[in-house]
Amino acid sequence: MTCDMTSSSTTPSWTLDEVMGLFSLPFGNLMDRARQVHLKHFDPNAIQVSTLLNIKTGACPENCSYCPQSAHFDTGLENKPLMDEEAVFQAAIKAKSIGSTRFCMGAAWRGPRDEDLEKVAHMVTRIKALGMETCVTLGLLKQHQAARLKEAGLDYYNHNIDTSESFYEEIISTRTFSDRVRTLEYVEEAGINTCCGGIIGMGEMPANRAQMLHFLASKKLPPKSVPINMLIRVPGTPLADQPPVDPFDFIRTVAVARILLPTSHVRLSAGRSEMSDEMQAWCFYAGANSIHYGEKLLVTSNAAPEEDRALMSRLGIYPEKRDESCFVEEAS
């Protein structure tokens, strides 16, 4: 797979009505269509494996209704400061030893202070030297901060839009949808790949899911990595009592993401610990080809590594190898 972040998208242009039409297809027809797109662009049995480490926990000033790390909600979470660089580095070594090719670091900030970003930049450079792809999610960025992360060698910046612009204010009021988009623009201008997706099950309508994916597919530089998260209903958060997502609705969303974003990795992300093996298998068939590996996903539970290994073995799928052409020189 190419790592070129400057080439124009080969994704066909879609209207919102056409995206809604995809969601309305009979389930089997949608699966067949998504599978054909996936077969054209990827090894259908290879899964990109990432590890996500929370490097700063809790006390976030944002009021994202789904997030246990928000200072606005009492979820019983213990706040922790930014981790020591050496501890993060050792975690990356462990992640590589169990097969992860990308190491992702998340910090519960509205946006990093320059002094904190500099510490993260040093972590990025050290982890790059291990031969791993690097990804961080630090909240809203300033333009010069994105440039500094690029200088450090960062491969991906995760900044989910969460949902459609029309539903966004129902979930978050401390920042706007345009704030999110501005950070994505800074990241793209710096030459860093974007990792951007959303969450299913927050009370949104099917049209909101279509609008979210249509926005991502319509970007001049669509995200290279697209996490499709299932809401984790954390006690103490405003969305704790949302009804469970219908499995077929979730699988449909994965399939439509694959069709609209044919060359992107579609990540089966949060919520896998609540998915049956059969549901995950359908998601992989529909085009999901990336997972987070490890027992924690930031501060919530994730599928246990031994469970992932057993499922992958049963399905005949295997970890995708790192593309050596993606290596960049260590920043000075």
Residues assigned a catalytic role: 60, 64, 67, 104, 135, 195, 267
What is d(CA 94, CA 77) in angstroms, rounded to the nearest whole number?
Answer: 25
Give the helix, strand, coil percentages of the chain, each rounded to 5. Answer: 40, 15, 45
Closest to 299 in 3D by CA, of 50, 54, 51, 104: 54
What is d(CA 299, CA 289) in angstroms, rounded to the nearest whole number?
Answer: 23
What is d(CA 241, CA 140) in angstroms, rounded to the nearest whole number?
Answer: 28
**What b/e string do you get for 280-289 counting C-beta neighbours within 10 Å, with b at 16 or more?**
bbbbbbbbbb
What is d(CA 321, CA 139) in angstroms, rounded to the nearest whole number?
Answer: 29
Are the beta carbons of 267 and 197 closer than 8 angstroms? yes
Q: Where are the beta strands (DSSP E) in the chain?
A: 46-56, 102-107, 133-137, 156-158, 193-195, 198-200, 225-230, 265-268, 290-292, 296-297, 300-301, 318-319
Dihedral sign for Cα atoms in the order 113, 238, 80, 302: negative
What is d(CA 37, CA 3) in angstroms, rounded to the nearest whole number?
Answer: 20
Q: What residues have CB less than 8 Å from 39, skipping those under 6 apart?
A: none
Distance, C-alpha 298 to centroid of its chain: 12
Q: DSSP secondary-structure letter at 50?
A: E
Are the beta carbons of 255 and 224 closer than 8 angstroms? no
